[in-house]
Amino acid sequence: MTDLPLVNTDGDAATSPLLEVRNLVVRYNKKGPAAVDDVSFTIARGETLGLVGESGSGKTTIGRAILGLQPVTSGQILFEGRDITKASAADRRSLQGDLRAVFQDPFSSLNPRRPIGDAISEPMRVAGVARAERDRRVKEVLDAVGLAPGSEARYPRQFSGGQRQRIAIARALVTDPRLVVCDEAVSALDLSTQAQVLNLLADLRSGTDLGYLFIAHDMAVVEFLAQRVVVLNRGRVMEEGPTLEVMRNPRHHYTQVLMAASPVPDPDEQARRREAWQTLKAAAPVA
């Protein structure tokens, strides 16, 4: 772990939240509107927090800010009690093992000319882990995500979309991280493959201190995996709370619209939801 100092926590690093975002503001330019406007939340060890909203709501920007891929205008991001808001490049490198990500399109981040074992082991190679240990760990995580022995020697084109997402999860987990940011990690998959990947993420978290920030636009997907949810619209928090409570009794109009827009397999229920969505959208502006 990096030597970034502890700041303003109620306890030491072992008892502070895994992640704490305080009054986060992100602007892409000084005179423009805030893409993220005064957002705060925490993630406990072993917890999954769902960050939900439509395209343009600011949820991906928040994920990128946490990962150090997007500059922060103001506010703080604390990881295990340490301020990483403006961490240096060296400090970010020291965080790479503990703070990982799974994105929507794993294929674009895989070199088609290299076997997937190389891609998975890359973080360990950068960290100076010996080759034998890298090979052992790659086989271990591939087994954990349900890919067959020998998969490490195959190339990205030889896997389905769902299998490539499992590869991305294996790459995220290979360093035994503390937190994984999942940004629309299942939105490009069909429903049956979505269910498999969600079950896998839940199984990998079970009995561990691994935490997830699960970014999605589909409330039904978040309901399956997350213990708590934060609902975003236009960069601001509309509603937050335990997932089942928010799902069953959404207080904010925008949350109600999102709920009505969530797809379901029953065509009759889908038709009712579509009608409810149109009614809600027309009833009041979503802001």
Domain annotation covers residue 244: yes
Q: In this structure, are 126 and 243 located in the same domain?
A: no
Record the tokens describing residue 220, joined without a space: 């039904």
d(C-alpha 104, C-alpha 110), whole Å: 13
Exposed/middle/buried for residue 86 (C-beta within 10 Å: 0-12, 13-18, 19+): exposed
Q: In this structure, are 75 and 52 located in the same domain?
A: yes
| pLDDT computed for residue 151 by the predictor | 94
Q: In which residue ranges of the chain is pLDDT below 70?
A: 1-15, 261-287
| pLDDT computed for residue 215 by the predictor | 95
Q: In this structure, are 54 and 122 located in the same domain?
A: no
Q: In this structure, are 28 and 157 located in the same domain?
A: no
| pLDDT computed for residue 54 by the predictor | 86
Residue 74: CA atoms inside 13 Å, Cβ hemisphere, count?
A: 5
d(C-alpha 144, C-alpha 129), whole Å: 20
Q: What b/e string do you get for 68-79 counting C-beta neighbours within 10 Å, with b at 16 or more?
A: bebebbebbbbb
Write out the residue range of the structural domain in which residue 55 sits.
Answer: 1-98+177-249
Q: In this structure, are 91 and 153 located in the same domain?
A: no
Domain annotation covers residue 163: yes
Cα–Cα nearest to 23, from 181, 235, 215: 235
Q: In this structure, are 43 and 5 located in the same domain?
A: yes
Please tell me the total count of domains within the chain.
2
Q: In this structure, are 235 and 131 located in the same domain?
A: no
Record the tokens describing residue 193, joined without a space: 């493959």
Task: Report the predicted TM-score, pTM, of the whole model to 2 decimal places.
Answer: 0.85
Are 167 and 147 in contact, with CB atoms under 8 Å apart? yes
| pLDDT computed for residue 257 by the predictor | 79
Are 138 and 174 in contact, with CB atoms under 8 Å apart? yes
| pLDDT computed for residue 218 by the predictor | 83
Helix (H) or strand (E) segment spanning residue 61: helix 59-66
- The CATH number given to whatever domain includes residue 72 is 3.40.50.300
d(C-alpha 41, C-alpha 124), whole Å: 31
Q: In this structure, are 164 and 200 located in the same domain?
A: no
Q: In this structure, are 150 and 227 located in the same domain?
A: no
Helix (H) or strand (E) segment spanning residue 217: none
